[in-house]
Structure 1
Amino acid sequence: MPGTRTDYADYDDYVERSSALIGSPQEVLDKLARYHEAFGHTTISIGGHPGLLERGAWTDSLELFRSEVLPAANALIGDPAWPSPVGLPEVVPA
């Protein structure tokens, strides 16, 4: 619920139950698959907050996500077909 507090027993509990995408590419993919199963979404916004990581470690992490997680997520979840365009009403000259 908005405005409520979530408590975690420890770091492992935080990694498991929070929305943070932390872990190996497979662990991150597993979490994305659980999100998709629970919520049905096909789009996710990744802010990529570096926290206390040095810039190189942060960019390496983003590259690992791009090269290993995204292709697997796209294969697993896919992209829904776009709906048919809505037709405009015919304009009759006056």
Structure 2
Amino acid sequence: METEVTVYGLLRSATGDETVTLEWPGGTVTDAVAALVDAYPRAESYLYDGDELRASVRVSMDGERTALEDRVPADASLTLMPAVQGGSR
């Protein structure tokens, strides 16, 4: 299955582009994020803390916030937004 994934923030440096096409067997949002990391290994440090997806990562499907256990339909698009890291003043 092909899914269009738009990434923001530092994830763009991992994927090389704002929007990428993810080739994966299908499944849940969690499966899609794992497939993205398989395709773009540099994305892992922005998305995961150990084996768990960082709580600060926001995922939307077709513009709506989605749960990690939701299934991704064949025609859906995903957006991943890692936490914006603040600086010091």
| Length-normalised TM-score, structure 1 | 0.26
Kindly name which structure, 1 or 2, has the bigger radius of gyration based on alpha carbons.
Answer: 1
Structure with the higher fraction of residues in helix conformation:
1
Say which structure, 1 or 2, has more relative contact order (CA 8 Å, 6+ apart): 2
Structure with the higher fraction of residues in strand conformation:
2
